Every structure is written in structure tokens, then in C-alpha cells.
Structure 1
Amino acid sequence: MNKYLLLAIIILGGFTTLKAQTPNIYQPFSYDFYQKFNKQVYDKDTRFHSAMKPYFQDDSLLKLAVDSFYDYGSDTLKRSWVHRKLLNEHLIAINKSDYTFYGDFLPDFIAGYDKDRGSIWTNTRGYQFGGTIGSKFSFYTSGYENQAKFPQYIQNFVNANGIIPSEVNDKFGPSRNIKDWSYATALLSYTPVKYINITLGQDKNFIGDGYRSVLLSDVASNYPFFKLTGTLGNVKYMSMWAQFQDLKAPELSYDNGFRKKWGVFHYLDWNVNNRLSLGFFDSVIWQDADSTGKRGFDLSYANPFIFLRPIEGQNGSPDNALIGFNGKYELLRNLAVYGQIAIDEFTSKEVFAGNGYWANKFAYQIGIKGFDAFKLKNLNYLLEYNTARPYTYSERTSLLNYGHYNQPLANIFGANYREFVTIWNYSYKRFNLMGKLDLAKYGLDGPGDNYGGDIFKSYDTRNYSYGNFTTQGIATNLTYLEGRVAYLINPNYNLRLELGGIIRSETNSLSQNKTGIITFGLRSTFRNLYNDF
């Protein structure tokens, strides 16, 4: 019976949309784009479930602002086909009473200079298609073919990890100076009634109000997921099942490809009043194949309304359970305070003993964000602090850790770090300015060491059981400063001319890596790709 129930759920997942009467595309956006809507999302006189991303674009509190962005520059004057397609419309656009469809070519052409490597460039050709069918179904897909000569620090990361940051594996490995990769997304969403949404996707998810998340972020590569989202009054609830890949675990065979693992996630967001929101999170990661062969999807985690930690214990505690909390308070008209805490493992007597016990694994975040800073319209801001103790998110093997495709499912730094980041975004007509400063300190491992920063290492190989502290190991300081100026050409797919600059410094007792980078490009899409490490 359970098998038939699961099959029925999966079949239903082949549909999608946002709200029953006015469907829109369920499409993730970059943080820069979300930041433009701080005024609508963090309005102290309304209630918005801001911590669960991607947002539904037809939410009544957000739709007007998003539509206004898409329609920027359009007017009732008769324009030429070339003018409209270049500046105001999708390349392909069909709008009928019972269905809609659009399609675009997505260029991402960048040329620049890296002080450490000389000339750098990115050549990406992409596409996107999306639309709606009836009043309950929507779909979106995009794909990208890429080649690049990266800045030296990114090249070092790719060669060491075998992946392009936030995307997929490097096709040809460290022997090639020019990197080549392909990348795709797909989303189907169905809303049978206004209270329930069903989504099947190959993409990412994010939980939190900040730039980073210690619960679930969009740092790593896309992954397949099935998600149920329910809204009733001031409560919004999400239950999601996902499959991840582990590139570090030995492959069982060439035919089986990279090793797989499963994840289940629950998040409940409660808008207590117009100002205060509280969120409760839990998750479990388990490996697809264990020592006996094939475990597969565990039906004990199929119930969307059950607290996961007791079930994990009932199974004999073979899996990786994580619980967490997210909170937000809209303190002023244009300022919100937010925070998170994630608890991986916790031994109360060891915490209060203050002896640096390795298994007291937790992370937290605190920040402020808002809009119209210094009474300047459209000046959005964020100031945020994140930290995670050593060995947080790690497990006995990488097949159980809180990671996917050689990157963390939480903060990009993994664990054993402290970080302060501030981001400012200002828009005026078609111009957009962004500034970011990231100051981080983390502990790296020497040969044969495990100080708890690399979450893909087994915690059984730790250096110490007691006396651990955050940033232990080879203490490393990172300063990352980035600025961008962009001119928006077509808002429908974020086509823009962009000038950017990065100053990066990573120093410790063994080395100093400092660089300056400048780039200019014709860019498009709303992807969130992380290079700030």
C-alpha cells in the first residue's frame, strides 16, 4: 500500500504553479534580485513568509513589484519589433486565455583581467523556456553550455574539488586550463487549490532571511526534489524530499555513476503578527547504498507531517539529523532583524562544561537588513554574521554529511569559521549598483589533519575530542570586496551590461594570496552563483 501511495505522490509532482487563479512561473532568483524587493517583503504592516525561497511570484504582496520590474520601460507607443524584443519583451512570447509561453536566449559573455593570471573570460550560451497551462499549472526550464578561463583562485578551487562553484563537475579535470561544463534546471509546479502547491524540480532551495543560511542554502549544485507547500492563514509549511550526489565516495561501478544519498526537510513558518515570524526546521540525510547493498528511499521518512528526529532514532540512528530555528522581527519601518541556529549534535553537560567537546556541533546567524537606507529610495542593505563550530555538518562518511556535489548545503565555508558580510544594492532607472564586503576567518587543515572545517572528512579522523574551538587549525583570514555597476537592457531575462571588480586577500602563516580582478560583460538570467570565498 505504501508503494502505491508513494507512486501517486510522484505522479502528482509532475504538475506545478503558484496560485490557482493567477499562475506565474516558479523561478528562483539571485540574492541581488531578491534584495530589490526588501520594501515589499519586509513591510512591517503586512505579513509575508520571507524565509522560504524561491518565492511564489504571484503572491499578492510581491506580484506588483515583480511585474513592475518586468514591465520597466514598456509603454503604449508603437515600437518596432526589434526595439521591443531587445529592450522590453521575451524573444518568444505567446499569451492566450488558457496558456502562456515564453522563451529567451541567455548570453553570459565576460572578459576581464586577473592580476594573478592575466586575461580571463567566460563564454556561456543559455536558454530559458517557461509558461502556464490553465490556471493551476506552470513550468520553467533553462540550460547553459559553458567554457571559461577563470581567475586563479577559482581555478585552484575547481582543480582541487573537481567542480565549478555552485554548478556541476569539470568535464576534463585539472589537466585543462580552459574549463568546460553544462548545466540545466527544470521546474514543474501544480496548485490544485489555493492552499497547496506541489513542485517537482531539478534546482535549488533556500531557507532563511539572510544572504547565507545555516539551515539550507543554494550554494551547491542543482538536485532533484519533490516539494509540498501548504499555506493556511498565517502558517506556511514545506515538506521536501531530495536526492544528492557524493563525488568523494568511491563509485560502486561505472554504470551506477556518482554515489547517491537522500534528504528529507521540513520547515514551518509562522507569522505571529505583522512584525514577528518564527520558523522551525528539521532534516535527515541518509545514504542510498550501505554495506549490505541497496537501501534506497526510506519510507519511514515519507510522512510529511512527522517530526524526523524520533523516526531517525527509531531506525537505530544510522542517519544524519539536523534541527534548527529561524526568526525575523521587523523592528523599524525599513529595518528587520533576523537570525538562525542549526543544531547538528548537542551534549548539554559538555556544552556547559566549556571544554571544547567535538560533538557540540552547531551554527548560528544574526543580521539586519532593510531598504531606503539614509532615506535614499531603493538603497537596500544587509549586515550579517555567521559562524559554525568545528565538525558541524560532518558525519562518519561523506555519504551522510550535509553536503552535495562537493559543496556544503549550508554556508559556503563549511564549518569552523566566522564570517561578517555586508551587501548594498541601489537601483536608479536602468542602472544598478552593488557593493559587497566579506570578512571571514576559518581554520584550514595541514597534511593528515582534520580540524573540522572540511565537512566531507569523517569526524572519526578528528585531531582532538576536547579542546576544540572555532577557527582552529591553520588560522586563515579572508577579505573579499566586490563592486558591480550594471545597465539593464531587457528586464524580462535580466539582460544587462555589467562592469565588475574584485579585491581578494587570503592570508595565513603559510601563504599570502592577494589579487585584483576587473571584468566587463553582457550578462543575463537570475542565477545565484557564489564566487565569494
Structure 2
Amino acid sequence: MKHLVWMTAILLLSRAAFAQEKLPVILPYNPQNIRELYLDTNNHHTAFKPILHVDTSAMYTRPDTTRRSWIHRKLFDEHLLEFRNKEYNVFIDFLPDFQIGKSRDGSRTNWLNTRGAIIQANVGTKFYFESSFYENQGKFPLYLDQYIRKNDIVPGQGGIKDYSEGKAFDFNYANALLSYTPNKYLNFTLGYGQNFIGDGYRSLILSDIQFSYPYLKITGNLGSVQYTAMWTQFMDKHSKSFNTAYKDLGFLKKWGVFHFLDWNVNKRLTIGLFDAVIWPDADSTGRKRGFDWSYMNPIIFLRPAEFSQGSSDNALVGANIKYKLLPKTTVYGQLVLDEFKLKEVFGGKGWWANKQSYQLGFRSFDLFKVKNLDLQGEGNVVRPYTYSYSTTYINYEHYNQSLAHPQGANFWEVLGIATYRYKRWYGRGELVYSKYGDDPDAKSNFGHDISKPYTTHPREYGNWIGQGVKTSLLYAQGTIAYVLNPKYNLRLEASLAARRVKNDIESKNDLIFSFGLRSTFRQFYYDF
């Protein structure tokens, strides 16, 4: 916070420099404008997000802004505070998210009161800095309320405190990013936030559905090849009081290292290879391990390194593929191998440790030649026990949420998302249908809950997707919004969502309406 105050003070003293030549603005692509990369005739690296780019259009506002009042310009066209000159750009915004709505039969009132702030700055064309903070109170629809109380976290937004006599929640979270690009070949990023690997709505490799975490990322570009190495620190919230020698230090931490090699084979095809290792900061007895420097080499293939240590660290490998089928249609897919034995995979007996996941999808832009009418379709399949481990100390999880898909494992899913933009109007429709195998009680483990140890699997063979309590999920949502200010996505938004979960034990139905004044490009995932 002190850095924010310091930078703001310096910039306020520099207003005399505003008349100087302006510098191009460095900004991250957001979910709405990343479509530009898919529509470009050149093949871009689109899988590892966030992606920074130089945006000259962000330097300018409407030609007639000088004729408008200050209030009009700040509400509809500009950042709250803007500082631009030939040496740096700085943007500061207040980010509200005020919502109110009804769910189920209309007897439950839901609401959200978020006050946020963000500062974005670039110094020259090599440094980019971003920091944001959000203070929140909210009451959620019943299914989210139950999820929050069970997992002690608001999805993607951190831990909770009771509010309004336990009827609502108080929570806050922050993100930060510092990027340095010394030349066109290298980028160094130090952050506290989320990352995403893939071209889909979901990612089976690394998603952005969870709470923020610290990371260091190094990206190299050479010709058509992009290589990224990232080191992270995650938190195991299941380890509240597992050992008296360690409990005063808070929750158990765990480390992660990720490698992603992305190759633009030609103007249509991109192939990406991925590997990762998760290891604990300390074991269940409190014995400290800390950061394992054997994983610091950014160019090694991790599985041999993990094996050579004689460790039981959690290793995964995978692939991400993208192919431009038509000028405005791209197909993509993912494969993740958590465990793999060729004999067992092709044996067809459903060995419990055949832990794999698959994705296949497409993106189509300007559908039926209607500008800004986009459609995305996707299917995801995850076998039982994928992403789980013998302990939560090193499973593929952070802050009680999966690092991949919000459903965990033991499911298949199909989804479709249509969006349309016309001037400042924005519409979005989403439909998700999935089937998964739930556990009939807390002691059972049929492979859906990745926080349960896979050592408790009930049988060696005959493990198939949907085993356990066969459950279907149908989620549909329609959203319409009027964007007041595109600079930080301030909008008036109305949304209607329907959710049905059904199995042989029970059937739950929710109908959720909400209306509010919202801002920022954050994306939360409540469609599970």
C-alpha cells in the first residue's frame, strides 16, 4: 500500500509534464479484447495468460472530450485519474461492485457490496506495474453459501469472516503484478494473483478459478517458440492444526514449478507442452523442507528431476493444442497425464490410477458475419482421482480450490458461451451440462473430491467416470449489460441464472436474479 501512496504522490507533483509527448500504454489483454489475437492473420501465443501488450488506442479518449464536463468524462470515457507523458503512464480507478438480487422462490435476498481500487502504470516500454485491492461484504445464493461455509472460502476471492450475525460474509483480497521486459526475447514477472494456461473457457492444466498466490515467471521468446518457467507458492487450508511445532506459522505452504513450451508450428497450428511438480514446504511432523533448489533450473524436464530426488512429489505433464481451422474459427484441446501406464490405459479395466483429463473446444468470431457475435463450445472429461494425491500437502489444489477445473475430477462436461457487443451494449449467454460421480458420505471416495487422499479408493479396477452417486448438473445464465466506461469496464448489469443438480438422493433447483453496478475485468466462476 505504501508503494501506491508513494507513486501517486510523485505523479501528482509531475502534472506539468502532461503536455509532453505521450508514451504508448502497456496493458494486459482482458477476456473481451483477447479475441484480437485469434483474429490476427499471424499466429500468436495465446495460451499463457495474463498477456501484456502495447495498446496505443488506450492513449486516447473521444475526440470531443474537451467539450464535456469533468464528471461526464470520468464516468464515461476516462480513468478516474490519468497521468500520461513521454516517460510513464499511470491510471487509477475506483472499482465498485454493488449487486442485489433474489434466488429460489424469491424469499432469499442476495447482495454484494464491493469497494475496490486499482493502479496501473508503465514506465517506458519495459516496466509495467499493477496493484488492486477489494473490500467486500456479501450474501450469496444458497448453493454458493453452502460451498463457502464448507470450504471456508469465497470462490476465487479468499477466506471469510462472518458478517451480519452469520447471515453474510466479510472478505477481502488483493492482486499485484510487476513486469520487466528488457528486450524482445525476455520477460520477468513477479506477481500475486492467478495464471491461466489454455485457449478454452476452462483449463485442465492451470486455471484462474482460485484465490491469489505469489509467483515468479520468466518467459523467453525466440522465433516461433515461447518458453515459460514459473515458480509459485500455494496454501493448504486443510492443515489448520496438524502439528504443534508448525501451527503458529499458519497454514501449511506448498511450492509449485511449471514449465510450458509453446511452438507456433505455422500460421495455423500451435503445440504446447507442459509439466509441473508440487511439493510441500513441510511434512506432517513439522519438518521444514522449504524451496527445493533442484527445481530451479528453468529448462530441465521436471519428471526426471523429481524422480532422481527419490521423492514422492506430485508431478503432472500435459499438452495444449490450437489450430486455426478457418480465418475466424479456432479449435483447441488439452491433455493432462497425472498418472500413466500404457498397459493399464489400453487394458480397459478401469485401473484407479489411470488419472487423465481431456479437453476439446472451438472459438468462432463474427458468427453469421455479424460483427462481435462470438460463440465458444467446449467439452471436458476428467477421470476419477485426477489431481488428487495421498495428502492435501501436495495435491493439485490451492486454498481449498482446484488448480484446474472447479468440478475437481470424475466428471464430463459440455458447455457453450455466446457473446455479443454492439457499441456499449454487451450480452452473454452460457449453458453448462455435466455429469459427475459424487460421494454418498464424507468417508467415501469415488474420485470426485480431489482433497480426499486417493489411497482411500474402494477398488483397484472398474473405476469409470460418473462412479459413485451419479449426479447431473445443468447451469444456464443470461447477462445483459450497458458499459458506462470501457476503460475499467464499469457497467450496469442484469443477470438471470438457473441451476439444477439432480441425483437419486435429491434434486436441487435455483433461479437467481441479480442487478448491479459493476466494474473491472475480473472473472469469477460460479457455474459449478
Please indicate, yes or no, whether the TM-score normalized by the shorter chain is above 0.5: yes
Say which SS state the counterpart of residue 41 (structure 1) adopts: helix
Question: Hey, what's the Cα distance between the residues in 2 that align with 1:173 and 1:420?
Answer: 36
Deviation, 1:274, is 0.6
What is aligned with 2:350?
A: 356
Paired residues in the alignment total 501
Summarize deviations over 1:195-218 as a string: whole Å, max 9, x none.
111000000000000000110100
Question: Hey, what's the Cα distance between the residues in 1 that align with 2:502 and 2:170?
Answer: 30
Matched-pair contact (CA < 8 Å) for 1:44–1:275: no
Deviation, 1:75, is 3.9
1:310 matches 2:310: no
Say which SS state the counterpart of residue 57 (structure 1) adopts: strand
Greater mean alpha carbon deviation, residues 275-284 or residues 285-294: 285-294
Say which SS state the counterpart of residue 149 (structure 2) adopts: helix
Matched-pair contact (CA < 8 Å) for 2:240–2:247: no
Deviation, 1:521, is 0.3
1:150 matches 2:140: yes
Deviation, 1:22, is 6.8
1:84 matches 2:77: no
What is aligned with 2:334?
A: 340
Deviation, 1:25, is 4.3
1:190 matches 2:186: no
Question: What amino acid is the match of 1:118?
Answer: R
Question: What amino acid is the match of 1:343?
Answer: L
Deviation, 1:73, is 4.9
1:228 matches 2:223: no
Question: What amino acid is the match of 2:313?
Answer: D
Question: What amino acid is the match of 1:471?
Answer: G
Say which SS state the counterpart of residue 453 (structure 1) adopts: coil
Deviation, 1:249, is 2.2
Question: What amino acid is the match of 2:265?
Answer: V
Matched-pair contact (CA < 8 Å) for 2:384–2:446: yes
Select the residue among 445, 449, 453 that pairs with 1:454. 449
1:109-120 matches, within 5 Å, as: 109-115=98-104, 117-120=107-110
Question: Hey, what's the Cα distance between the residues in 2 that align with 1:98 and 1:145?
Answer: 32
Greater mean alpha carbon deviation, residues 172-181 or residues 317-326: 172-181
Q: Aligned pair in 2 of structure 1 residues 54, 111: CA closer, same or farther (>3 Å)? A: same
What is aligned with 1:319?
A: 313
Summarize deviations over 1:21-41 as a string: whole Å, max 9, x none.
977445473x4x2xx442x22
1:519-530 matches, within 5 Å, as: 519-530=514-525
Matched-pair contact (CA < 8 Å) for 1:444–1:475: yes
Question: Hey, what's the Cα distance between the residues in 2 that align with 1:150 and 1:166?
Answer: 14
1:50 matches 2:50: no
Question: What amino acid is the match of 1:529?
Answer: F
Deviation, 1:515, is 1.1
What is aligned with 2:466?
A: 471
TM-score of the superposition, structure 1-length normalised?
A: 0.91
Matched-pair contact (CA < 8 Å) for 1:23–1:138: no
Say which SS state the counterpart of residue 437 (structure 1) adopts: strand
Matched-pair contact (CA < 8 Å) for 1:478–1:505: yes
Question: Hey, what's the Cα distance between the residues in 2 that align with 1:492 and 1:464?
Answer: 54
Structure 1 portions without partners, runs of 5+: 1-20
Matched-pair contact (CA < 8 Å) for 1:44–1:332: no
Summarize deviations over 1:421-461 as a string: whole Å, max 9, x none.
11011000000000000001111112220000111110011
Question: Hey, what's the Cα distance between the residues in 2 that align with 1:110 and 1:383?
Answer: 29
Q: Aligned pair in 2 of structure 1 residues 73, 155: CA closer, same or farther (>3 Å)? A: farther
Deviation, 1:96, is 2.0
Identity value in percent: 49
What is aligned with 1:199?
A: 189
Q: Aligned pair in 2 of structure 1 residues 300, 180: CA closer, same or farther (>3 Å)? A: same
What is aligned with 1:275?
A: 268
What is aligned with 1:517?
A: 512
What is aligned with 1:5?
A: none
Say which SS state the counterpart of residue 345 (structure 1) adopts: coil
TM-score of the superposition, structure 2-length normalised?
A: 0.92
Summarize deviations over 1:327-373 as a string: whole Å, max 9, x none.
01101121111100000001111111111100110001001112011
Deviation, 1:72, is 6.9
Question: What amino acid is the match of 1:257?
Answer: G
Question: Hey, what's the Cα distance between the residues in 2 that align with 1:313 and 1:517?
Answer: 49
Q: Aligned pair in 2 of structure 1 residues 135, 71: CA closer, same or farther (>3 Å)? A: closer
1:421 matches 2:411: no
Question: Hey, what's the Cα distance between the residues in 1 that align with 2:326 and 2:378?
Answer: 17
Structure 2 portions without partners, runs of 5+: 1-21
Question: What amino acid is the match of 1:106?
Answer: L
Question: What amino acid is the match of 1:161?
Answer: N
Matched-pair contact (CA < 8 Å) for 1:27–1:140: no
Deviation, 1:71, is 5.5
Question: Hey, what's the Cα distance between the residues in 2 that align with 1:478 and 1:326?
Answer: 27
Matched-pair contact (CA < 8 Å) for 2:225–2:262: yes
Question: What amino acid is the match of 2:181?
Answer: T
Q: Aligned pair in 2 of structure 1 residues 303, 42: CA closer, same or farther (>3 Å)? A: same
Matched-pair contact (CA < 8 Å) for 2:358–2:381: yes
Question: Hey, what's the Cα distance between the residues in 2 that align with 1:246 and 1:47?
Answer: 38
What is aligned with 2:378?
A: 384
Question: Hey, what's the Cα distance between the residues in 2 that align with 1:507 and 1:168?
Answer: 29
Q: Aligned pair in 2 of structure 1 residues 289, 364: CA closer, same or farther (>3 Å)? A: same
Question: Hey, what's the Cα distance between the residues in 2 that align with 1:28 and 1:169?
Answer: 28
Select the residue among 248, 257, 265 that pairs with 1:264. 257
Q: What do you get for the CA RMSD once the two structures are aligned?
A: 1.8
Matched-pair contact (CA < 8 Å) for 1:431–1:486: yes
1:99 matches 2:88: yes
Say which SS state the counterpart of residue 330 (structure 1) adopts: strand
Deviation, 1:194, is 1.7
Matched-pair contact (CA < 8 Å) for 2:163–2:170: no
Question: Hey, what's the Cα distance between the residues in 2 that align with 1:350 and 1:72?
Answer: 60
Question: What amino acid is the match of 2:450?
Answer: I
1:133 matches 2:155: no
Matched-pair contact (CA < 8 Å) for 1:44–1:274: no
Q: Aligned pair in 2 of structure 1 residues 198, 344: CA closer, same or farther (>3 Å)? A: same
Question: Hey, what's the Cα distance between the residues in 2 that align with 1:143 and 1:254?
Answer: 28
1:25-44 matches, within 5 Å, as: 25=26, 27=28, 29=30, 31=31, 33=32, 36-38=33-35, 40-43=36-39
